[in-house]
Every structure is written in C-alpha cells, then in structure tokens.
Structure 1
Amino acid sequence: MLVHQAEPYNAESPPGALVGSITPLDAFYGRNHAPIPRIDPESWRLRVEGLVDRPLELSLEELRHRFGERSVVATLQCAGNRRADLIEVRDIPGQVPWGPGAVSTACWSGASLADVLAEARVRPEAAHIAFTGADLSQQAEPPQPFGGSVPVAKATSSEVLLAWSMNGQPLPTAHGAPLRVVVPGWIGARSVKWLQCVTALAEPSDNYFQSEYSVLPPEADPHRAKPGDGITLGPITIHCAILQPGKDARLPSGPTEITGFALAGDNRTVARVDVTADHGNTWTRADLDPPENPWTWQHWRTTLTLPPGGIELIARAWDSTAAVQPESPATVWNPRGYANEAAAHLHITCRP
C-alpha cells in the first residue's frame, strides 16, 4: 500500500493489486476523514428514520434474518483518484495527492437497501436518502460524523446494499464494520462506512461532506465556498489507468505490452480504449474485457512497438454513451482536485 496519511488513514492500492477482477482485502484502498471507529457489533443498531411511516431500529442479526442476502461485484473509487496529475498542473494544498490507486473492486454482500426502505415505508415526499457514519471528522466545523445522501431513485436500485460482507468474509473494521452502504457506480464518498443512520429527506443531506465533494470553478476559493457553489458529485466520471509498464520504467525498445483498466461509472460501461505512443498521431484500439456488470472496472491490453528514447503513453476510454476522456488534465483542473477524467499519461524510457 502507498500510505499518504497514517491518521486519518489514507492509502492507495499498489498497481499489482489492481490487475485482477477482485482486489484482495489487504490491498483495498482506504479513504478516511477521521480516525477509524471501533464499534461493538452486539450493541450496534441501525436507525431508519425521517420521512418514513415506520421508523426502524435494527441489530445486525435482525438485518440478516429479516432481509435476504444479496451480492454484487462493484468497483469503488475515491472522487480524488489521480489528483496527483492535477497537482502537476497547479498545486492543490491540503488535499491527499492520490495517484491512480484510490480504486478497488470487491464482491459485497448484505441486505438490499430498497428492501429495508420498503419496510420503513418511505413517504412520497422523500426525494433523498441520507447516510450517517460513526466516524467523527474534525474537518467539519463544528466536528460532525461523515455522511452524505443519494436520490431515492438510486437508493432503491437493486444494486445498492447495506453490506456486512466483503469478498466472502465479514466486513473488516477498516472498511466499515459492522455495516456500510455500497452505492455502485457513484463516488466512494457516498458509500458511507460504519453506518449508524439512514434518513429519508425531502432535500439532499446538509452534512458537510455532501457539499464538500463538489467540483468548484477554477477561480473559486475552496475555503470560502458555500453549498451550491460547485457541482455536487454523484455518478463516477469515466476513468482510465495504465498499470503496465510502471511509471518512469526503463524498457528495451520494440514490442511492448501495455495494460490497464477503465471504469465508466453509474450504469454505463466502457465501450473502447485507445492507446498512443506518438502524442496522438496514431491510436491503437486495445483489447477490452467485457464488464461483469455495469458497476465494475474493465481491464484492457495492447502491444505497441516502441522506438528508443523517451515515450509518453496516453490511454483514453470511451463509454457506452460515446463520452470520451479529454486529453489533458489541465482542462479539468479544479481547486479541490476531484473528478479527474482526463486521459491517462505515463512517461517511460526505451533503450536501443
């Protein structure tokens, strides 16, 4: 793991852990805004409240017995993934300098959030479902637990889970035990860990982190920004990464295998990945794995014949709506460094 901060713990997965369809638990990235809470699963209860006719208070055992277990393979990605590329354009003080490894995939199992909300009988005027965790963040003033919300339409989609299991094992403490939300296709910040409360609301959550995860205009001061000043983040934007060769690798010239993954977000899929080694004069279409479902990454590979000297590899992805990544990180720079959807750039050197 590449550890950026020890407390709160923030670490990205190494490239070698991202080559398979499922990320091992000990290599799954960690993103936190507060110390990891330790919760007694026996005394823990989940509250379901707000604009509902039947408020609920459920133990983990009650959740397991009253609602059938479902599983979904889903890729989670931090909204700040590849922020380091944006920092190279212009500095972004106070933010974690994520490389391309703030992304991982797991098989999640738990109760369908839609089933739980149906039992609580969400009222027609509810338009958003908010989540509140147990991790108390000092980043907010005054300090508050991490939280956020998603629209009711997303919350009641079949893929959204209240997960108690990860890769066939009990959910680890570091990843939200005893229970977390998993919102496939949306930024990782909406998959709230150490879940304490689910609240049906008429408006989006007023939690600090609901609006903090927004893209501000380039000229904005992030320390003075108010809710509504930016574009609140939800569905993941299209993303692509080069896994092999590694950054600044020195390789023999000639045929070279280039591999990576791409992720479309929401319920879209990746339709195509193109790779160039000559600044876009020519592009080669990579072989692309089919998606397991619309919420997982897709791995790709191609072989290019590389000449001696310094090479900049560029990989760009297209999604199923024909949206394509912009070529330069400079075009998507923003003062919080979120949603870097620019094409992946990698510098290597080839020996004669």
Structure 2
Amino acid sequence: MLVHQDEPYNAETPPDALAAQITSLDSFYGRNHAPIPHIDSASWRLRVEGLVDRPLELSMDDLRRRFPERTVVATLQCAGNRRADLIEVRDIPHQVPWGPGATSTARWSGVSLADVLDEAGVRPEAAHIAFTGADVSQQTDPPQPFGGSVPVAKATSSEVLLAWAMNGQQLPAVHGAPVRVVVPGWIGARSVKWLQRISAQAEPSDNHFQTEYSVLLPEAEPGTPGDGITLGPISIHCAILRPARNAHLACGPTKISGFAFAGEDRTVARVEVRADHGSPWTRADLDPPANPWTWQHWHATLTLPAGEVELIARAWDSTAAVQPESPATVWNLRGYANNAAAHLHVTCRP
C-alpha cells in the first residue's frame, strides 16, 4: 500500500494489485476522514427512520434472518482518485495527492438496501436516502459523523447493498465493519462505512461530507453555499498500470496495460493508447466486464521510439462519452472527478 496518512488512515492500492480483477483485502484502498471505529457486532444496531411508515431497529441477526443474502461484485472509487495529475497542473493544498490507486474491486455480500427500505415502508414524499456512520470527523466544526445520501431511485436499485462481507470474509474494521453501504457506480463517499442510521427524507443529506464531495469551479469561493456540483455517478476514465511511471525501457514493441471504469450502469466501449501527442492512436484489447459495476482491464502493444516518451490512454463509455485529453481542462479547487486521459512518462533506450 502507498500510505498517504496514518491518522486518519488513507492509503492507495499499488499498481500490481490493480491489475487483478478482484482486489485482495490487504490491498484494497482506504479513504477516511476520522479514526477507524471498532464496533462490537453483537451490540450493534441499525436504525431506519425518517419518512417511513414503520421505523426499524435492526441487529446483525435481524439482517441475516429477515432478508435474503445477496452478492454484488463492484468497483469502489474515491472522488479524489488521480488528484496527483491535477496537482501537477496547479497546487491543491490540504488534499490527499492520490495517484490512480484510490480504487479497488471486491465481491460484496449482505442484504439489499431495497429490501430493508421496503420493510420500513418509504413514504412517497421521500426523495433521498441518507446514511450516517460511526466515524466522527474532527475536520468539521463542530465534529460530526461521516454521512451522505443518494436519491431514492438509486437506493432502491437491486445492486445497492448493506454489506457485512468482502471477498467471502467478514468485513474488516478498516472497511466499515460490522456493516457498510455499497453504492456501485457512484463515488466511494456515498458508500458510508460503519453504518448506524438510515433516514428517508425529502431533501439530500445536510451532512458536511454530502456537499464537501462536490466540484468547485476554479473561480468559486470555497464555503459559499450552492457553489459546487454535488458528485454522484463516476465519469468514464482510465489509468495506465504498466509500464510503471518514469520506467526505463528498451525501445521497440512494448506492452501497455491498464484499467478503465465507466461508473453507474455504463460499460467501457473502447480504449485507445498512443506514444506522444500527434502519433496515431492504437485501439487496445478490452477485457469483458465481470458485470456493469466493475472496471475493465485493457492492453495494447506500441512500438516505442528511443528517448523520452509520454504514453497517453483514453476511453469511451457505452453512452459515447470520451475522456478529455488534458488534466488542465478538469482542474478544480478540491481536485475531484479527474477523468482526463491518462498520461505516463517513460524513457526508452536503444
């Protein structure tokens, strides 16, 4: 792991682990705003309240006994993934300089959030489902638990889980035990860990981190209400995993590989790669997706010239959206949602 901070713990997945279809538990990225809570699953309770006909208080045994277990393979990704590329354009103070490894894929098991909401009886006037975790952040004034919300339509989709297992094992404390939300296709901040409360409500969550995870335009003043675009579904993007950044290689035919991720229920339709601006694009071979909620790996072979070379990769999704070529075009004050084409520098010797 590439550890950016020990407390709160923030660490990204190394490139070799990103090349696997499923990320191992000890390589899965960690993004936190507070110390990791350690919660006794036997005494843990989940409250479901707000605009519901039947408020619930559920234990772990209740979840297992009253609802069918489901499994979804899904990629989670921090909204700040690849922020380091934006920092090269212009500094972004006080933010974690994530490379391409603030993303990972796991096999999640638990119960459908839709099933739990159905038992609670969500009222017609509820438009959003809000989540509150047990992790209390000192970054807010006053300190508050991490939280956020998603629209009812997303919350009641079959892929959204209350997960207690990860890759066939009990959910680790670092990833949200005893139960976390998993919202496939959306930024990781909406997959709230250490879940304690679910609330059906007419408006989005008023939690600090619901609006913190928004894109502020370059001319905006941070802290001004309504000055950002709240983040939800992930935009199409890709990363180059091999060769390594700043690698020294022999010139000639060279295998280039990486992953692409489309977010929401979109898939990756095409990936292209080239060596330096102006050279022709080469279409990469694209692995089929495990399902609509996961990344897709790609690989291509380019003939690299001697000298300094910049590798560039870009992807299209199934709606024909394509990545912008330069990180400068998507730079923003918090460094979120970088979906610019991937750039990687190498040196080739004759």
Q: Partner residue of 2:7?
A: 7
Q: Could you tell me how far apart the structure 1 residues matched to 2:276 and 2:82 are?
A: 23
Could you tell me how far apart the structure 1 residues matched to 2:148 and 2:167 are? Answer: 25
Aligned to 2:188: 188
Please tell me whether residue 351 in structure 1 is matched to residue 331 in structure 2: no
Describe the SS at the equivalent of 1:282.
coil
Q: Summarize deviations over 1:38-84 as a string: whole Å, max 9, x none.
A: 11111110000000000000000110010010000000000000000
1:292 to partner: Cα distance: 1.3
Aligned-pair distance for 1:293? 1.1
- Shift in Å, 1:219: 1.5
Match of 1:306 among 296, 304, 328: 304
Return the alpha-carbon distance in structure 2 between the equivalents of residues 116 and 288 of structure 1.
37
Question: In structure 1, what is the equivalent of residue 281 of structure 2?
Answer: 283
Aligned to 2:43: 43
- Counterpart of 2:248? 250
Q: 1 CA distance for matches of 2:287 and 2:131?
A: 34
> Which residue of the partner structure matches residue 212 of structure 1?
212
Aligned match of 1:172: 172
Alignment partners' CA distance in 2, 1:142 and 1:2? 31
2-side partners of 1:59 and 1:97: how far apart?
38
Deviations 1:83-140 (A, max 9, x none): 0000000000000000000000000000000000000000000000000000000111
1:307-326 counterparts in 2 under 5 A? 307-326=305-324
Question: For 2:111, what is the secondary structure of its paired residue?
Answer: strand
Deviation at 1:290, TM superposition (A): 1.0
| Cα deviation, residue 191, structure 1 | 0.2
Q: Is the 8 A contact 1:109 1:164 kept in 2?
A: yes
C-alpha deviation, 1:235, in angstroms: 0.2
CA distance in 1, matches of 2:146, 2:158: 24
How far apart, in 2, do the equivalents of 1:289 and 1:251 lie?
25
Q: Take 2:332 and 2:79, find their aligned partners in 1: how far apart are those partners?
A: 12
Number of aligned pairs?
350
1:159 alignment partner, SS class: coil
Aligned to 1:130: 130
Distance across 1 between alignment mates of 2:72 and 2:210:
25
- For the 8 Å contact 1:314–1:344, the answer to whether it is kept is yes
Cα distance in 1 between the residues matched to 2:214 and 2:207: 13
Deviation at 1:239, TM superposition (A): 1.4
Question: Quick one: structure 1 residues 280 and 157, their matched pair in 2 at CA, closer, same or farther if it must change by over 3 Å?
Answer: farther
Is the Cα contact below 8 Å between 2:221 and 2:227 reproduced in 1? no
Unaligned runs of 5+ in 1: none
CA distance in 2 between counterparts of 1:323 and 1:92 reads 27
Q: Which SS does the other structure have where 1:271 is aligned?
A: strand
Q: Secondary structure at the residue paired with 1:135? A: strand
Q: For 1:305 and 1:25, locate their aligned partners in 2 and report how far apart those are by CA, in whole Å.
A: 36
What is aligned with 2:239? 241
- Classify the secondary structure of the residue corresponding to 1:44: coil
**DSSP-derived class of the 2:62 partner:** helix
- SS state at 2:209 partner: helix
- Counterpart-to-counterpart distance in 2, 1:350 and 1:72: 42
SS at match of 1:163: strand
Over the aligned positions, Cα root-mean-square deviation in angstroms equals 0.6
* Pairwise CA distance, 1:278: 2.9
TM-score by length of 1: 0.99
- 1:280 deviates by 3.8
Counterpart CA distance in 2 for 1:151 and 1:289 is 31
What SS does the corresponding residue of 1:196 show, helix, strand or coil? strand
CA distance in 1, matches of 2:31, 2:309: 33
> 1:214 is aligned with what amino acid?
S
Partner of 1:198: 198
- 8 Å CA contact 1:176, 1:193 repeated in 2: yes
Unmatched runs of 5 consecutive residues or more in structure 2: none
Determine the C-alpha separation between the residues in 2 that align with 1:166 and 1:153.
25
Counterpart mapping for 1:264-283 below 5 A: 264-283=262-281
Residues 221 and 335 in structure 1, CA contact (< 8 A), matched pair in contact too: no
